């Protein structure tokens, strides 16, 4: 197995008073295209999917990385599968991805044992677009095309399924795997996955909803949307919804342009989002939920932010891929909440 080169750097990117982005590591990957990145909830490990060159379009590798050391700790090779998406169980013990090939299968790995735990058939009729474990890691849910499907992880047995058109972007399961939030142009449909019935529709967005995510406690839904404005090409918007009541908790529009994925910190105080400005640079923005105050982090020269995730303890990690063949990882120091 080819070992990965590790370069330790500690460059600090200033982004306003009290806010620093610390570059932790840069890892050079073998030949291939970086397709997926997932952060383990405890913030100690990263999983990636590396796809082989075009001449071998269905050869993929799943690699596990230790964040503290920057070392590759496991590799799983699949000769005839295009693996996506990629997700850890809430306790970090399991990792899952769909293997899309002649036959679509779901693959689950035991992270500690560094081995494949189970694989079973997927019958969604289209590639998986949303994938999530239940809070206890015993069930797995997925969407794809016009279907939603659930399995028992230990046995691979299908538990239930129902038909509903789910877009190929932006949907999310609640942490207990009981609710599916699915964008429906300027609205969000909330589906009861036990009954397959529409539970509620959230409909105050000023444009198409691009991304949704449940907060860690499942009580808040984050919705990112954008809309056309004659004065500016794109105007972004973030809305926070109370899941139980369907009432709006907060709206953020000022200074938000072409909005990307948005995540709420575990304590609910900070909203982190990727935002592509008119200069076509993807920035990281941190919003104080109570005050709406924004702080901005720009990527280093010749790099681009591609995704971000909160660890369970509140640490925020940002990923970048300068050429799709390297992994760059930053840990962002969140501003302290002084109660003002």
**Each residue's pLDDT tens digit, 23-63:** 556 666 666 678 889 999 999 999 999 876 655 556 789 99
What distance in Å separates the CA atoms of residue 272 and residue 264, rounded to the nearest whole number?
6
What distance in Å separates the CA atoms of residue 222 and residue 110, rounded to the nearest whole number?
30
Flag whether the pTM goes above 0.85. yes
C-beta neighbour count of 322 within 10 angstroms: 16
* Closest C-alpha among 179, 182, 199 to residue 135: 179
In this model, does residue 68 exceed pLDDT 90? no
What distance in Å separates the CA atoms of residue 102 and residue 81, rounded to the nearest whole number?
8
What distance in Å separates the CA atoms of residue 339 and residue 70, rounded to the nearest whole number?
36
What distance in Å separates the CA atoms of residue 187 and residue 190, rounded to the nearest whole number?
10
- Across the chain, what does the average pLDDT equal? 85
In this model, does residue 290 exceed pLDDT 80? yes
Helix intervals (H) in the chain: none
Which is more confident, 261 or 24?
261
The tokens of 1 are what? 């197995």
* Closest C-alpha among 183, 254, 269, 257 to residue 220: 269
Q: What is the pLDDT of residue 15?
A: 44
What distance in Å separates the CA atoms of residue 242 and residue 249, rounded to the nearest whole number?
6
Three-state DSSP at 254 gives coil
Q: pLDDT per residue over 271-284, tens digit each?
A: 999 998 767 788 89
What distance in Å separates the CA atoms of residue 189 and residue 198, rounded to the nearest whole number?
7
* Closest C-alpha among 52, 57, 41, 37 to residue 327: 37
Which is more confident, 46 or 14?
46
Tell me the mean pLDDT in the region 281-294. Answer: 92
* Closest C-alpha among 120, 100, 99, 97 to residue 109: 97
Q: What is the pLDDT of residue 229?
A: 65
Q: pLDDT per residue over 296-310, tens digit each?
A: 888 877 778 899 999
What distance in Å separates the CA atoms of residue 245 and residue 281, rounded to the nearest whole number?
37
Query: Band of the pLDDT at 11, cuts 50, 70, 90?
Result: very low
Sheet holding 258-264, edge to edge: 258-264, 270-276, 282-288, 294-297
In this model, does residue 210 exceed pLDDT 50? yes
The tokens of 318 are what? 């940002």
* Closest C-alpha among 6, 67, 108 to residue 313: 67
* Closest C-alpha among 232, 187, 238 to residue 208: 187
């Amino acid at each position: 197995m080819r070992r990965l080169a590790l370069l330790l750097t500690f460059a600090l990117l200033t982004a306003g008073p009290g806010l620093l982005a610390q570059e932790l590591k840069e890892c050079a990957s073998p030949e291939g295209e970086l397709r997926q990145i997932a952060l383990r909830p405890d913030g100690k490990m990263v999983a990636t999917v590396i796809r082989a060159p075009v001449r071998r379009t269905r050869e993929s590798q799943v690699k596990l990385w230790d964040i503290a050391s920057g070392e590759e700790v496991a590799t799983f090779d699949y000769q005839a599968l295009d693996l996506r998406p990629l997700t850890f169980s809430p306790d970090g013990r399991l990792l899952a991805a769909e293997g899309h090939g002649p036959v679509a299968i779901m693959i689950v790995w035991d992270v500690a044992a560094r081995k494949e735990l189970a694989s079973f058939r997927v019958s969604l009729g289209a590639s998986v677009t949303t994938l999530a474990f239940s809070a206890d890691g015993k069930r797995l849910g997925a969407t794809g095309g016009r279907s939603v499907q659930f399995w028992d992880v230990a046995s691979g047995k299908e538990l239930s399924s129902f038909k509903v058109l789910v877009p190929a972007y932006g949907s999310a399961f609640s942490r207990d795997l009981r609710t599916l939030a699915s964008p429906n142009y300027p609205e969000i449909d909330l589906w009861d996955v036990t009954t397959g019935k529409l539970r509620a529709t959230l409909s105050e967005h000023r444009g198409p909803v691009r991304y949704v995510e449940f907060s860690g406690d499942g009580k808040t839904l984050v919705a990112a949307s954008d809309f056309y404005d004659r004065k500016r090409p794109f105007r972004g918007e973030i809305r926070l919804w109370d899941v139980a009541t369907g009432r709006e908790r907060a709206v953020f529009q000022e200074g938000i342009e072409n909005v990307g994925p948005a995540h709420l910190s575990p304590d609910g105080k900070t909203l982190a989002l990727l935002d592509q400005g008119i200069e076509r640079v993807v920035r990281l923005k941190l919003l104080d939920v109570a005050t709406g105050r924004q702080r901005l982090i720009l990527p280093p020269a010749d790099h681009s932010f591609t995704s971000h995730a909160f660890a369970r303890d509140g640490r925020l990690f940002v990923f970048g891929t300068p050429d799709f063949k390297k992994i760059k990882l930053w840990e962002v120091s969140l501003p302290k909440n002084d109660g003002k």
